[in-house]
A and B are shown apart, each in its own frame.
Chain A
Amino acid sequence: MRLFSRNSSSLEHDVTVVFRRVFTWLAVFPATWFVVFFLWPTIHALTSLTSWSAISDTLSSQTTWNVLWFTTWQAVLSVAATFVVAMPITWILARFVFRGSRWVRGIVSTPFVLPTVVVAGAVMSLLPLRYQFGVHGIIIAHVLFNVAVVVRIVGARWQTISPNSTSAAAVLGASPLQVFWHVTIPQLRGAMYNAGLIVFVFTFTSFGVVAVLGGITRRTLEVEIYTNAINLGFFDTAMVLAVVQLLAVLLVFAITSTVSRRQTSDGGTTFHRIPLHDHPRHRLRISVVAIATPAFIALPFAMLFIKSFRAGDTWTLNAWRNLWNGSLDRVGLDIPSVMWRCLIFAGTTVLIAVPMAYIVASLSVYMRRGSAVLRTITSLPIIISAVTLGFGIIVTFNESPYDWRGQTWLIPIVHALVALPLVVYLLTPAIQAVSPTQRDAARTLGASPLRVWWHIDARLMRTPVLSAGALSFSVSLGEFGATTFLSRSSSTTLPIAINQLLGRPGTSLQASGFALAALLALTTAVVMSRA
């Protein structure tokens, strides 16, 4: 393979040309993996539906419309509730520095990286028994999970709004509320649409939270797809529902992106946050929000730990002991084996996801055109839910010699697909940040393109790659949607075990579920703190 052509554009750095060629060749691996295990199964699942009677039966069923209606209104309510909780703390974290602000940011961001069943378990531990299953818990869990999305996206935009812009409105006679409504909100609108869209998609396609907290009466489309495919064996109905869900998500994307394009783009400058003691007028309000919001978010997780040590009115270690002493064998759960298996799955996921994402991210940085298309394609696992993917796999790989449905090796491959867009998103800016001038300097000092990559890129990418590893490890530990379709009793994962324990009658089993959820929360938080 010829690595460097003298006919290449003289404006481009020669190493860039070489890297583009190398990563274009290497892209065969992620492309094959993505096509075989993602595009083929999902397209197959969404297009193999040929039974018109199944379509008309499903669409004329009142149950379908009830589920669609619930899915929609709980998502809308979740978005609204998330913004109500998140906007004050977003303002504070974007505008002020105060003692403990890093802790506050850490606490409000943590639930987003935790497995959905852990967040659901935490909410369940907080609620009284009669409210444990139902819409209250679902909305609270969605808010806990998604506050970080608003803080991250809207907060970043808020930091680019000049404080003088709001001061200008104040000296023109606008009250603080008028300043917020007429000056701040219009500038935040684009970021708010984007954050709202992401929260809507997450909550519209919510599976883990609703599977744990929905009980038998509250089902989203995701849960309904699972129920029809796995519990009832109505594959045609599940396919129709998967198509309905995808169309709904695409419709929301289309509407929101049209509205979002009309908004002004982000300003480039990020303004420094000001020390709180320079702003005494807001001190009380800020203190209340800065304490109340993290307390609201941390409380369910504190309760999760407390409940794992409670049996009736007494404190006990029984729930934790039961995880190790084999007493959960009676419900078919050998927790040490499950843990060991999950670690192997997570490690394998890292080994697949990080190199594949590195190749994709590099290609998107170095390619001359088409990088936006590449990014869109690799983002598909966010738009097409994990449940649809899992469902696609079991209806696609169901005939010899491709009857892979029960194969354990399929699980980390699918986990890596779910992690792919997140890892690409993490690695791309890091690759972009490597200075071409540094590579040029290495070239002028006699380094070959391979040595440039090794001595410049590889060294600078060490930390982002470790972060990417931690992220994909965590995604694998917490993945629930696709895994429910793929796991068998011999390949149960921690989230599935937690769901089984929390869903069974008996406070002893539930306490073990809380203990296992607490353990998974701690493990994920520690791993993600490395990211």
Chain B
Amino acid sequence: MLNVSGLTVSRSDHVVLNDVSLTVPDGSITAILGPSGVGKTTLLRAIAGLVRIDKGSIVVDGVDVTHLPTHRRGVGLMFQDGQLFPTMNVAENVSFGLRMQKKNKIEQAQRVHELLTLVHLPDHDTRDVSTLSGGETRRVALARALAPSPTVLLLDEPLTGLEEDFRYALAHELTEILRSTDITVVVVTHDHREAEIMADSIVQLSARGNSNNGAVLK
């Protein structure tokens, strides 16, 4: 379970998030919906420990991670454009988190194969990431984010930039993959339909910085 309470984040001259609270139950997918610039990405980056927070707490599976550095939080983040490492091939990208966990080569190879199969790219392990299409990039990025088995996975606009038809098809596919892993997921999007496809519940982040939990009929 992810529990965010009273989160306030400010930049040099303005408050980005003001007293935001959010609870995401175990194994569920929650979408955070809101217009551009409202602070959705900042919320995810704060949960991941990538931005300084002024107030509030972040608890993951009962552990207060508010003051832990990013790499010790056990929180995964899939970035908007994938952010695959250009100097590594597909398999090296996916196994990166496993190498940080000092898993041995056999475990790494097994997990990479398992995840690339899960995202329907089993033969892409030696591919240069610059040769991947937009959809393949997102799948590899998802596989990479899932590889270290994070407690909570954050997806930041995972389908932005893809064509509309393909985007919704891929949204269904990613949701299926995420459901099969039973992981707790927070997905940020500005697309209502994408949120409906992927999420069990939707949270609206308003321009005033408050969030209201809402449900969606699925």
Contact = CB atoms under 8 A, between A and B. Distances in A.
A313 interface: no
A-side interface size class: 20 to 34
Contact of B83 (A162, A178, A186): A162
B112 interface: no
A171 interface: yes
Nearest to A162: B83
B11 A164 contact: no
B105 interface: no
B142 interface: no
Given A183-B85, A275-B12, A277-B12, A171 B75 contact: yes
Nearest to A170: B70
B76 interface: yes
Given A167-B48, A167-B70, A278-B11, A172 B83 contact: no
A175 interface: yes
Nearest to B87: A186
A167 B71 contact: no
Contacts of B48: 167, 170-171
B79 interface: yes
A264 interface: yes
Nearest to B94: A172
Given A169-B96, A277-B12, A264 B70 contact: no
Contacts of A168: 77, 79, 83, 85, 144
Interface in A164-191: 164-165, 167-175, 178, 182-183, 186-187, 189
A172 B86 contact: no
Interface string B134-156: 00000000001101101000000
B106 interface: no
Contacts of A175: 69, 71, 100
Contacts of A164: 79-81, 83
Interface string A177-219: 0100011001101000000000000000000000000000000
Contacts of A170: 48-50, 69-71
A385 to B, nearest CB: 35
B85 A171 contact: no
27 contacts: A164-B80, A164-B81, A165-B85, A168-B77, A168-B79, A168-B144, A169-B96, A170-B71, A171-B70, A172-B96, A172-B144, A173-B100, A173-B101, A175-B71, A175-B100, A178-B71, A182-B96, A182-B99, A186-B85, A187-B85, A187-B87, A264-B87, A267-B86, A278-B11, A278-B12, A279-B52, A281-B52
Interface of A: 162, 164-165, 167-175, 178, 182-183, 186-187, 189, 264, 267, 275, 277-281
B50 A174 contact: no
A425 to B, nearest CB: 27
Nearest to B86: A264
B71 A173 contact: yes
Nearest to A172: B97
A275 B75 CA distance: 26
B96 A174 contact: yes
Given A167-B77, A187-B87, A278-B52, A172 B100 contact: yes
Contact of A172 (B12, B51, B76, B87): B76
A280 B71 contact: no
Contacts of B45: 167
B101 A187 contact: no
Contacts of B97: 172-173
Contacts of B150: 171
Given A167-B70, A170-B50, A172-B76, 17 more contacts: A164-B80, A164-B81, A165-B85, A167-B48, A168-B83, A169-B96, A171-B73, A171-B77, A171-B150, A172-B145, A183-B85, A186-B85, A275-B12, A278-B11, A278-B51, A280-B52, A281-B52
A492 B78 CA distance: 66
A55 B99 CA distance: 55
Interface string B1-24: 000000000011000000000000
Contacts of A277: 12
A165 B85 CA distance: 7
A277 B145 CA distance: 30
B84 to A, nearest CB: 8
Interface string B89-101: 0000000110111
A174 B79 contact: no
B197 to A, nearest CB: 24
Interface string B56-78: 00000000000001111101110
